[in-house]
A and B are shown apart, each in its own frame.
Chain A
Amino acid sequence: MLKYLVKRVLWMIPLLIGISLISFFIMHLAPGDITNNEAAFNPKASEESRQKLRELYNLDKPVIVQYGLWLKRMGTLDFGNSFASHQKPVFWQTTDKDGNVTKGMIQEALPITLMINILGLIITLTLAIPLGIIAARKYTLWQDKSITLFNFIGFSIPGFWLSLLLMYWLGVMNNWLPISGLHSINYESMDTWSKVKDSISHLILPVIIPSVTGLAGITLFVKNGMLDVFHQDYITTARAKGLSEHKVVYTHALRNALLPLITIIGLSIPGLIGGSVIAETIFAIPGMGKLFFDSVLMRDFPVIMGILTIGSALTLIGNLLADLAYAWADPRVRRGVVRK
């Protein structure tokens, strides 16, 4: 087990290097650089001052030298400072000589995106597992068909369109939910209970809308998994032994059907992180997706590199955790009977 773990962790290093190479290559497709952003397009700005900028950021050096410099700093987890946002550190906070702490951009954005996605995942799973079980038990009956259709409709709606409709309906017309943002403006002056209520009400739409679109895949997965298990010998045996259908489904079948779900969740991490761009833009949430999109538009290379690398590293860690969880949950893997 330990050997397996060490091997898996070591495996991540070449993958990370591959990821950083691809990211670096993509960034240099860009003809523009930081000196071209809107702010710089002012009749009073001079080309001279832009040249100065370029030298400062090593943008005048060959790509390979820039990559080398970047890799060297990576060794110490130093992702550098943002070009565009007043030299804020990309990854983690720094403290200057006067003791002022500047928070890192990813440090601020990542917890928000993670929180929303984890909440979304919990909601998706709570809905998808029962729906999948119903669909499997009523396979090809109307319950199965309506669940499938309902899921597919959720999956097929352009998310931003659904968001805007719900924002108008729930936020403007009925004033049930806040429209955008993470907190009300007077958040700091609230008591604890109001703070909790406030945060929850702000999170409802941004958490639920992506879950609706993610539901279809997981439901289908649970359904297929259950169907597979239903045909296994041991279930037939269990049924033959006269166990109640309830017991067959919930103790024997479900357990085995849900195991592969762990892997699926691990694999869905990059999609969740990437999918946050539109939701975060529309709901005014300062998470990873919004940060990435802003950085792309500003050509803020250190931030783009930082997010691609950290986002991918998270995926790798997620997959690793999923594999470990799988090994823990499946005794055959744990005992080394089955190689994973």
Chain B
Amino acid sequence: MNKLNAFLLKSSLSVFCAIFIASCGKPTLDTTDYNKIYPSQTGGTLIDATIGEPSGLIYMVAGESAAAAISGNIFNKLLKYDKNLDLEGELAESWLISADQKTITFKLKPNLKWADGKPLTSQDVLFTWKLVIDEKTRSPYASDYQLVKNAEAPDANTFIVSYDQAYAPALDSWSGLQILPKHLLEKQDIHTTAFARNPIGSHYYKLDSWTHGENLKLSRNALSVLGPANIDKLVTRIIPDNSAQFLELMADNIDSMGLDPIKYSRIIPARPELQKKLALYKELGNSYTYLGFNLKHKPFDDVRVRKAINYAIDKQEIIDGVYLGLGINIASPYKPGTRWSNPDLKPYPYDVAKAKALLKEAGFADSDGDGILERDGKPFAFEIITNQNKEREKSAVLIQRRLKDVGIDVQIRAIEWASFISRFIKTGDFDVVVLGWGLGLDPDQFSIWHSSQNQPGQFNFINYNNPKIDALLEQGRLELNPEKRMKVYHEFAKVLLEDSPIVYLSAGYGLTAIHKRVKGISSPAPPAGIGYNSEQWYIPQPLRRVETGRNEIAEK
């Protein structure tokens, strides 16, 4: 009996292992040559996936990234950034800044139309502005537009805004507001209107259908104000689990997906059948990962301690080990290579001797010989908290080891986002965080660093307070001359680096895989990223999914 059972156990385990090993074999062969070059043409369907479903498609009240990705294809803005991150008109044909720099006059392009055929005029722009600043509208983005003292639309093509004082980020803010149709939204409650699930816009695409929990389908808008896009249909599938999403990418059921460094540089390059059909893109995002100190807590109020920790962390090790080389060591809170990033600043090098010397200077010594430093009898120990982001968790683990080398005892906790924000960030109940900032294109970082912005729920939660920085931030908002403004922010970054309220860990690349059937993508990515010309992407007829089998799309 015992033998039989042992046999049964063994055989069922081996069947199981067989399934496992079988599943590591080769997928079915696909003989299409996706590298072949084809002329630009229209038609086809591009399928991508999102982890979360948008709550609605009115971006000013929805606010999540899933909504932004889709509503950005449906609605236009007054201005946009071009390939090289210079502003150009989108709905606006031109714009004029008055001599006192307090008034901007936008001229709209002629004969603009909404997808339903109604004319798009400056009245729509004025309506959108009124909506975003409306008391009843709960928009997280209202603050920029509340600074507008007066807005008017004297004729169908003219929109004028004036500010109390010159406001340098103003133009940038008008490249962020998606213009909504007055004739459909007037007298509607923006928070409950059916329009959010059935929007009418003016951009390249319009929403065809939205199946809750499954997918959103967009098709070309014939009346697009910027002319037609190449690809006929965009489908966004809702796939909440990352591993399932990657399986769908491998099975050729979706065309594009964001990747982590391991998938980007280890997995896809090592698999010929994936290499054959997937093209990899990397673009430097406008974001960075950092380690931030709670400056109200001792001993982080001491600049020597902050600098010591900065010297003790090996950033290159994090970039190599966590980001597999797909990151850049930075010294200012701006995207490297842009005008706002100060080229003269150098990141803190990895220097254990200097770190130890600074800690000693700050009064830390290992008096009991346990390898951990003490000051006033208290060991130097703290907890790093971070949210559940694999790269941040790993960075924290590497930091933990490096700080141990200089005698600091670090614990790590990774916490689910909502608890993280409410339990730790808002209450200020933390010592050190590892987090990231995703930034806009304007250099203004008032809300992150200004000493007035440290109330619960505001973004200066590390409680940074430096009068020099405050002054520079205020000055930067008033300065409209780009050259002078650049100098202000270069100085700002220099003071910030010297004061070391945070340790810059890495500016990471955005990594994407897109199926090679999609052509017309700029590589390497221009400063604006690969998406800047997505309307010119195209899918040649022979490479489209064919109309047999399960995974196909009906082509018109």
Contacts and interface: CB of A to CB of B under 8 A. Distances in A.
B466 interface: no
Contacts of A282: 241, 243-244
A131 B241 CA distance: 34
Given A86-B55, A149-B5, A42 B140 contact: yes
A180 B239 contact: yes
A86 B421 contact: no
A87 B144 CA distance: 25
A32 B136 CA distance: 23
> Interface centre among B26, B144, B196, B457, by most A CB within 10 Å?
B457
Contacts of A284: 213-214, 237-241, 244
Interface string B133-172: 0000011111110000000000000000000000000000
Interface in A53-87: 53, 56, 81, 84-87
A185 B251 CA distance: 14
Contact of A153 (B12, B23, B63): B12
A26 B196 CA distance: 32
Contacts of B251: 171-172, 175, 179
Nearest to A198: B550
A103 B139 CA distance: 24
Nearest to B22: A169
Interface string B55-94: 1100001111000000000000000000000000000000
A37 interface: yes
B513 interface: no
Contact of B55 (A84, A96, A184, A283): A84
Contact of B212 (A103, A150, A181): A103
A237 interface: no
A298 B244 contact: no
Contact of B239 (A86, A164, A168, A181): A181
Interface in A128-149: 142, 145-146, 149
A151 to B, nearest CB: 11
A200 B302 CA distance: 65
A201 to B, nearest CB: 7
B241 A173 contact: no
A86 B241 contact: no
B421 A174 contact: no
B382 interface: no
B458 A47 contact: yes
Interface string B231-253: 00001011111011001101101
Interface stretch (B113-121, B411-419, B492-500): B411-419
B194 interface: yes
Contacts of A41: 421
A36 interface: yes
Contact of A149 (B12, B142, B554): B12
A49 B8 CA distance: 64
> Interface centre among A42, A86, A172, A186, by most B CB within 10 Å?
A86
B456 A47 contact: yes
A244 interface: no
A179 B245 CA distance: 9
Interface string A78-102: 0001001111000000001010101
| Interface residue tally on B, bucketed by range | 35 or more
Contacts of B197: 86, 102
B138 A56 contact: yes
Nearest to B195: A100
B422 A185 contact: no
Contacts of B552: 184, 186
A38 B388 CA distance: 13
Contact of A185 (B1, B235, B250, B427): B235
B418 A297 contact: yes
Contacts of B350: none
Nearest to B68: A39
Nearest to A85: B55
B235 A36 contact: no
Given A164-B243, A284-B240, A86 B19 contact: no
| Interface residue tally on A, bucketed by range | 35 or more
B250 A298 contact: no
Contact of A179 (B211, B247, B448): B247
Nearest to A278: B241
Interface in B416-467: 416-419, 421-423, 426-427, 437, 439-440, 445, 447-448, 455-459
Contacts of B250: 172
A91 B395 CA distance: 43
Given A47-B457, A56-B138, A169-B22, A181 B64 contact: no
Given A44-B143, A173-B25, A184 B550 contact: yes
Nearest to A175: B28
B47 interface: yes
B243 to A, nearest CB: 6
A330 interface: no
A10 interface: no
B212 A173 contact: no
A6 interface: no
B243 A38 contact: no
Contacts of B38: none
Contacts of A102: 192, 194, 197
B37 interface: no
A179 B248 contact: yes
Interface in A178-235: 178-186, 188-189, 198, 201
B16 A153 contact: yes
Contact of B459 (A43, A150, A188, A189): A43
> Interface centre among A52, A145, A167, by most B CB within 10 Å?
A167
Contact of A32 (B16, B243, B423, B554): B423
Contacts of A109: 213
B414 to A, nearest CB: 15
B419 A31 contact: yes
B19 A169 contact: yes
Contacts of B551: 175, 178, 184-185
A49 B241 contact: no
Given A167-B244, A172-B27, A181-B239, A37 B191 contact: no
A36 B421 contact: yes
A48 B8 CA distance: 66
A142 B6 CA distance: 12
Given A173-B23, A179-B251, A142 B4 contact: yes
B247 A145 contact: no
A290 B138 contact: no
Nearest to A184: B550
Contacts of B439: 43
A43 B457 CA distance: 10
Contact of A38 (B64, B241, B440): B64
Interface in B482-502: none
B419 A86 contact: no
Interface in A17-37: 30-33, 35-37
Given A173-B25, A178-B551, A181-B215, 8 more contacts: A43-B440, A49-B139, A86-B55, A86-B197, A98-B194, A165-B23, A186-B554, A297-B416
10 contacts: A40-B140, A43-B445, A46-B142, A86-B62, A96-B192, A149-B8, A173-B23, A173-B28, A281-B241, A284-B240
Interface of B: 1, 4-5, 8-9, 12, 16, 19-20, 22-23, 25-28, 47, 52-53, 55-56, 61-64, 138-144, 191-192, 194, 196-197, 209, 211-215, 217, 235, 237-241, 243-244, 247-248, 250-251, 253, 416-419, 421-423, 426-427, 437, 439-440, 445, 447-448, 455-459, 550-554
Lowest 3 A-B CB distances belong to which pairs?
Answer: A286-B213, A32-B422, A45-B140
